[in-house]
Amino acid sequence: MLIQLLTKQYPGMRLWLSQRLTALMMAFYIIALIILLLITQPAGFTAWHAFISPVWFRLATLVFFMCLFIHAWLGVADVLQDYVFNKTLRATMQIGVDALLIAYLFWLMFILWNI
């Protein structure tokens, strides 16, 4: 039943599940991040740099932000559908949000690659 609900026939279910899964992954990342920060308590540039530079941390951060961008995309699309009734305006705003989120992803990759 669950598998059937996730087929192309029910696109809303896929969006619904994506929203929840990305939320869960972000929650785990943030809780882990807070615990790690409380343990290591980095102070000063060198300590922060050492905290962020391990490859596994940068990968986790990349995954976190990808989840954030998907989650934000779903949420903003819902909000636009609820409040912007003009179809052309809504489509334009949606394209703007899409472009913004893609730009954020490239920006983030640039930051993480250059550490």
Dist CA 94 CA 112 (whole Å)? 27
- Amino acid occupying residue 108: L
**Closest approach of other proteins to the CB of residue 43, in Å:** 10
**Closest approach of other proteins to the CB of residue 108, in Å:** 6
Specify the residue for token string 């930051």.
111
Torsion of CA 52, 55, 58, 64, to 10 degrees: -130
**Closest approach of other proteins to the CB of residue 48, in Å:** 6
Whose Cβ is closer to other proteins: residue 5's or residue 115's?
115
Whose Cβ is closer to other proteins: residue 31's or residue 91's?
31
**Closest approach of other proteins to the CB of residue 85, in Å:** 17
- Amino acid occupying residue 36: L
Whose Cβ is closer to other proteins: residue 15's or residue 108's?
108
Specify the residue for token string 């932000």.
65
First to last CA, the chain: 46
Residues near other proteins (CB under 8 A) are: 20, 23-24, 27, 30, 44-45, 48-49, 52-53, 68, 72, 75-76, 79, 104, 107-108, 111, 114-115
- Amino acid occupying residue 34: I
